[in-house]
Amino acid sequence: MSANIATRKRRGAPSRLLWSRLIVCVIAASSSTANTANGSDDELAYKIVIDAGHGWAKDTGGDPGAVNGTYYESVATLAIAKKLKTRLVENGYKVKMTRTAGEKDLTLAERCKIANDWGADCFISIHLNAAANKDAKGAETWRYANVGTTTKRLADNVQKQLIAATGAVNRGVKTTTAFYVLKHTKMPAVLIETGFISNNAECKKLHSAAYQNKIAEGICKGVRAVLK
């Protein structure tokens, strides 16, 4: 576990960008033809993996996550993830999704592998919360307990902008050593519980395009505050 934590600190996103910029500067300075028009921007773009939690879909079955009547967590997480992808791409980020439909056999290890193999700068997992108390509501952002500054800032800014964009009850940033995708990804990672599917009013909002857009906007603003 300690090796895992040390790796996180070494692989902070800002230093990666700085080195990329320095390398581009050196190449540009040494050869007038090396810096092509469409090559350098692409190299500098941060790489973000969006992980839509769970994997049920009508045609494939699989893991629905939490369920409230006809509302399935896996459906809302995918819809939010797609809206977030659109915004992040519009803002110049390179984005990879762990799933784009109801891939039912996608394990947590495979989700982490996608991000680790790609060398992503940031991993964002989208979930809906559930509780026995039907009145529980609001949004919270989770990060691994012992992490570097970038991850802390990412979690803080995502939570802050998510609340500002949605007006949801602020349940704050929470830390854990238990969540698999936070433990086994090698880059700054957050898991966002965007709201409670078990709260009937919040459940309906979480499955509406209008509210999903607000969530995506908030998360995107939080990312932009840190990965710039």
Catalytic residues: 193
**Distance between CA atoms of residues 205 and 194, nearest Å:** 11
CB of 77 to Zn ion, least distance (A): 7
- Cβ contact 191:164 at 8 Å: no
Among the listed residues 65, 148, 195, 218, the single contact to Zn ion using CB under 5 A = 65
The token pair that represents 17 in the structure block: 């960008």
CB of 137 to Zn ion, least distance (A): 16
CB of 206 to Zn ion, least distance (A): 12
45 versus 115: smaller Cβ distance to Zn ion? 115
**Distance between CA atoms of residues 63 and 40, nearest Å:** 40
In the window 108-127, what residues touch Zn ion (CB under 5 A)? Answer: 127
53 versus 222: smaller Cβ distance to Zn ion? 53
Q: Which of these ranges, 52-60, 114-122, 153-161, 201-209, lies near Zn ion under the rule CB under 5 A? A: 52-60
CB of 80 to Zn ion, least distance (A): 12
Q: How many residues bind Zn ion (CB under 5 A)?
A: 3
53 binds Zn ion (CB under 5 A): yes
Beta strands in the chain (DSSP E): 47-52, 67-68, 71-72, 94-97, 122-129, 139-144, 170-176, 189-196
For Zn ion, the nearest residue by Cβ is 127
3-state secondary structure of 20: helix
Write phi, then psi, for 12 (nearest 5 degrees).
-60, 140
138 binds Zn ion (CB under 5 A): no
Task: Find how far residue 219's CA is from the centre of its chain.
Answer: 8
Which residue's entry shows tokens 């581009």? 24
Contact residues for Zn ion, defined by CB under 5 A: 53, 65, 127
